[in-house]
Structure formats: C-alpha cells, structure tokens
C-alpha cells in the first residue's frame, strides 16, 4: 500500500474515533483515551499504512472481551446487597491480560474500558510480556467493616475465577483494592480452584508477594521524573513538588522524592489539600499518610490537625507555586482552569502519575505553553512492572531481594523514558514524551497483532 498523506491519515483517525463514540455511547472516559492515543499515532500510520490496511486500528480499539457480573453479598445487618463486577480483557497480543481491580462507587463500563485501553500500551512499554486488562466494581469500601469487605471480595472472586488464571489474566490492586482485598480475593481463588498460582499480584509477602510492590508505582514515577529532569539539564535536588492524593501511589512518590532530595509541599484528599512549608518529609509524616488511608476516613485534614499546617478545604493544590506538579489521585483531576493556573504560575514540569489525570484539552494547552508533560502510561508503569516481576518470581518459585527488584524497576523505568524520547525523535516530534510513549507502546502490540493475521 502506498504511503498515505497526513490529511488522509487524519481523516481515517477521525472516522475511527467517531465510530468508537457511536458504538460505545456515553462512555466519555473511553472516548477520551481513544482519541488521545490515536491522534498521536498519526505520523506512525502515515509511514506504516499497513496498520490501517490490515485493520489493526479497528481491532485495537475493541476490547477482546467485556465480562460484567452480579456480585451479591450480605451486610452486617443481614441485608442483601448487590453490586456490579467487571473484567475488561482488552488485549492479549503480547501476554496474558494484566491490570488492576478498582473498587469505587464511580466504576462503570466506560472507566473500565479506558483503564484497560491505557493498560495495554503501558504494559507494552514495560518490555515485559503482559497484555492489557482492568476490572473492578462499584462497591464502595468506605465505611464497610472488615467482615463486609471480606464477604464482598469472596463473592466477587466466586464469579471472577471463571475467567482468570496465571497464564490467562492476572488482576492486581488499584483504587480501593490494597493488600487486605488482595488477601481475601487470593484466599477465595485458592479455595475454589485448589491451586496455588500467581493469579493475582500485589499479594502479601507470606504468600507469594514481591518485595517493593507497594512502593513500586511511586518509586517508578520518581525514577522516570529524575531521567526527565536530567535530560532537560535539571536535577531533583532542591526541587519542590505539588502532589495530589494521599493513597498508595502518592505515598510511594513522596517517599522517593524525599530520599532523592526533593521537597513535597502538598498532598490532597476529597476534602481539600494541605500545604506543608517544611515538606511532607519526616518518616513520621510519610507514615501518617498510610495511617490516614488505612483509617478509611478519606480525609487529609487530619494531617493539618496533627502537624499544625494549613488546610485548604474543597480545593486542589494546582494553584501553589512548585517546580513539578504530580497528580496522584484519579482521572481528570486537571482540566483547563487548572492548566491555565499552572501556566500563569510559570510551571515547567507536569508529571502525571494517576491514570489519565488530565483532560485532552488541558494536555494540549500545557504542551502548547512550553510545559514539559510526562504521561501517566509511562510514568506510573512501575507498579505493573513490579507486578510483572512478581509473576516471574512466582513462576520460578523464587524471591528476589529488595536490591534486585529495585534495580530491575530502575532499569525498566530508564528504558521507558528512553523508548519514549527515541520514538518522539524518530517521528520528528521533538521531545514530546506524550506522543513518544503512545507510539512506543503501540508499535510492539500492533506488530504482534499484524503477525497473528485477522484474529
Ligand atoms: P487511592 O485509593 O489510594 O486514592 C484514590 C483517591 O482519589 C481517593 O482519595 C479518592 O477519594 C479520590 N477520588 C476522587 N474522585 C475519584 C473518582 N472519581 N474515582 C476514584 N477515586 C477518586 O488510590 P491509589 O493510590 O491506589 O491510586 C491512585 C491513582 O494511581 C489512580 O489513578 C490509579 O489508577 C493509579 N495507579 C495505581 C496503581 C497501583 O498500583 N495502585 C498503579 C498505577 C496507577 P474518594 O474515594 O472520596 O473519591
Ligand atoms: O493502573 C495500573 O497500572 C495498576 N493499577 C497496576 C496494575 C497491576 O497489574 O499491577
């Protein structure tokens, strides 16, 4: 097939995005990620039209399988409750489906598909053999007793176990699913299937977990940020960070930023944000983040009360002056008003850590105004990378030391940064880390799909 002009490719991509919107009505988060990724593939498709000709683009936006199921459970008052469970098995071209489970009241099919689609390219970037998947439920763990969470997890796994396996699909945690939930889910899987396999990652250390998995997403994000800063002639030492969220991911990032000499001025929760001029830096303060998350109160004001710093109710930290912004809570935390504020404050670096924390319009605005944007699917890939390393250790029936896991994580994050910048250069996109990550992640999956023919 002859090369296509950029205009022809652009028109083709617009057509695919339009079709995705029509076939998945109302799924706005899914539409958002599909247009973000496909638009950045324009130069690749112009140069390699076989991806269009062989239908790879049409295939890649359609999940291989969407599983949706009823999750009945009984609360502490004896009342029957019913939630919805999901597993989106998005793409298995380069390995078993792999991705977390999210328990949050906002979970719906659109959120599951957006996360599964993103995961496909993220997992490809890790260079480990993992396909993309995501799952979860609209169950709200907040305010539930331990016994209720256990009964819910057992019921969820009773259905999910039909579709997963160590060589088929390997779930892990995400928002609302931490060590406690993974324990209940793994116990139920083992009981029903009578096999001890690496079917879940993020497991506890006594039963096959990997050392450093809890820290991995945050640590990996900071390793990536260091490479980015060095590439642009900067250093992390003495840099100030505004972080949102206070969960597992924010905690790991804050810990590593401090270790490497940076200073974290803010963390946030649904109730507002705290500003700590001395930095969220002592061991006591960092450990307190874990306590706040474990308390299930979902309040960051507790930090302000305990350490005597200022609390800004119902506000996000994006108006503060800091060298680096790091959204670590959830999708679409940053839209146009926040992006405008950042540009007005002369922000230089914007590092996405949560999945898709920025609207497409805001990303374009930040980039157009000279802010260096690091995209979540590259930055937060350290979590799933150590999940991949947990799978390797489980297969070998062996455990690596903290030093070994950390060294591998570090190497993976270096490779992700390098693959992204190299892809951007190869397609004449300057230092566009967002497009570079999309392209590098896409190419491996698409080449595997080409090899398989139409299937
Ligand atoms: P946490 O559960 O610790 O934190 C999530 C926070 O976001 C909560 O405080 C939640 O508060 C808030 N929030 C506000 N609006 C929403 C919404 N619409 N949906 C979900 N949460 C919302 O999560 P993690 O630290 O585990 O994850 C943070 C981010 O990092 C997420 O985007 C996740 O997908 C991503 N990530 C996680 C990885 C992991 O290994 N855990 C790996 C890679 C990425 P409230 O409940 O009140 O809404
Ligand atoms: O978004 C993510 O990459 C995760 N929640 C981690 C997935 C995993 O399988 O470890």
Structure tokens at 146: 């331990």
DSSP letters spanning 284-302: HHHHHHHHHHHTT---SHH
Probe target for ligand 1 pocket from 294, 329, 331, 357, with the most ligand atoms within 8 Å of CB: 329
Ligand 2 atom with minimal separation from the 213 CA: 10
Summary mean pLDDT of the chain: 97
Confidence class for position 4, pLDDT limits 50, 70, 90? confident
Q: Is the pLDDT of residue 352 over 70?
A: yes
Confidence class for position 1, pLDDT limits 50, 70, 90? low
Residue 264 bridge partners (DSSP): 241
Decide if 410 contacts 385 (C-beta within 8 A): no
Bridging pattern class, strands 65-74 and 272-275: unpaired
Residue 134, SS3?
Answer: strand
Structure confidence by residue, pLDDT tens digits, 99-116: 999 999 999 999 999 999
Task: Return the residue whose CA atom lies nearest to atom 3 of ligand 2.
Answer: 384
Residue 84 bridge partners (DSSP): 70
Bridging pattern class, strands 272-275 and 310-313: antiparallel
- Phi/psi at 276 (nearest 5 deg)? -115, 100
Q: How large is the average pLDDT for residues 261-265?
A: 98
Q: How large is the average pLDDT for residues 59-82?
A: 98
Residues 6+ apart with CB under 8 A from 317: 242, 243, 244, 265, 266, 267, 268, 273, 275
Q: How large is the average pLDDT for residues 18-30?
A: 98
CA–CA dist 349, 286 (Å, integer): 23
- Phi/psi at 396 (nearest 5 deg)? -80, -10
Structure confidence by residue, pLDDT tens digits, 179-194: 999 999 999 999 999 9
Q: Is the pLDDT of residue 428 over 80?
A: yes
User: What whole-number percentage of the chain has pLDDT above 90?
Assistant: 97
Distances (CA, A) of 420 to 52, 221, 228: 22, 14, 11
What pLDDT is attached to residue 2? 66
Structure confidence by residue, pLDDT tens digits, 433-455: 999 999 999 999 999 999 999 98
**Number of CB atoms found within 10 A of residue 311's CB:** 17
Distances (CA, A) of 234 to 230, 239, 328, 329, 349: 5, 9, 22, 26, 11
Task: Return the residue whose CA atom lies nearest to atom 9 of ligand 1.
Answer: 269
Ligand 1 binding pocket (C-beta < 6 A) is 100, 104, 106, 173-176, 217, 245, 247-250, 269-270, 293, 298, 328-330, 354-355, 380, 383
Q: In what order do the strands lie in the sheet with 372-374?
A: 310-313, 272-275, 263-269, 240-243, 324-326, 349-351, 372-374
Q: How large is the average pLDDT for residues 225-232?
A: 98
What pLDDT is attached to residue 295? 87
Confidence class for position 313, pLDDT limits 50, 70, 90? very high
């Amino acid at each position: 097939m002859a090369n296509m002009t950029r205009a022809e490719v652009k028109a083709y991509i617009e057509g695919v995005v339009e079709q995705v919107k029509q076939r998945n009505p109302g799924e706005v988060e899914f539409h958002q990620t599909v247009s973000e990724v496909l638009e950045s593939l324009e130069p690749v498709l112009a140069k390699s039209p076989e991806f269009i000709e062989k239908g790879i683009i049409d295939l890649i936006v359609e999940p291989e399988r969407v599983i949706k199921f009823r999750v009945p459970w009984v609360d502490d008052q004896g009342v029957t409750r019913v939630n919805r469970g999901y597993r989106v098995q998005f793409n298995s071209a380069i390995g078993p489906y792999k991705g977390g489970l999210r328990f949050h009241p906002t979970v719906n099919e659109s959120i599951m598909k957006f996360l599964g689609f993103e995961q496909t390219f993220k997992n490809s970037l890790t260079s480990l053999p993992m396909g993309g998947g995501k799952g979860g439920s609209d169950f709200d763990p907040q305010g539930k007793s331990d016994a209720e969470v256990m009964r819910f997890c057992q019921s969820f796994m009773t259905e999910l176990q039909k579709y997963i396996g160590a060589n088929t699909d390997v779930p892990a945690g995400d928002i609302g699913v931490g060590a406690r939930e993974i324990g209940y889910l793994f116990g139920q899987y083992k009981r029903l299937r009578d096999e001890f396999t690496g079917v879940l990652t993020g497991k506890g250390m006594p039963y096959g977990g990997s050392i450093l998995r809890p820290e991995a997403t945050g640590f990996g994000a900071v390793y990536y940020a260091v490479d980015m800063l060095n590439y642009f002639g900067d250093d992390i030492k003495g840099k100030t960070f505004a972080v949102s969220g206070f969960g597992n991911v924010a905690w790991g990032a804050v810990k590593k930023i401090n270790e490497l000499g940076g200073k974290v001025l803010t963390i946030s929760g649904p109730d507002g944000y705290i500003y700590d001029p001395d930095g969220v830096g002592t061991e006591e303060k960092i450990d307190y983040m874990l306590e706040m998350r474990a308390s299930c109160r979902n309040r960051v004001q507790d930090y302000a009360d305990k350490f005597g710093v200022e609390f800004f109710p119902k506000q996000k930290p994006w108006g503060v002056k800091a060298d680096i912004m790091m959204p670590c809570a959830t999708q679409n935390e940053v839209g146009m008003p926040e992006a405008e504020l950042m540009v007005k404050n002369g922000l230089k670096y914007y590092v996405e850590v949560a999945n898709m924390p920025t609207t497409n319009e805001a990303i374009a605005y930040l980039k157009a105004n000279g802010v260096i944007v690091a995209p979540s699917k590259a930055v937060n890939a350290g979590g799933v990378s150590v999940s991949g390393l947990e799978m390797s250790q489980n297969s070998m029936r062996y455990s690596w030391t903290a030093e070994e896991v950390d060294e591998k994580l570090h190497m993976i994050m270096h490779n992700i940064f390098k693959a992204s910048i190299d892809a951007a250069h190869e397609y004449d996109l300057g230092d566009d880390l967002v497009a570079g990550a999309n392209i590098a992640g896409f190419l491996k999956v698409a080449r595997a799909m080409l090899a398989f023919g139409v299937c």
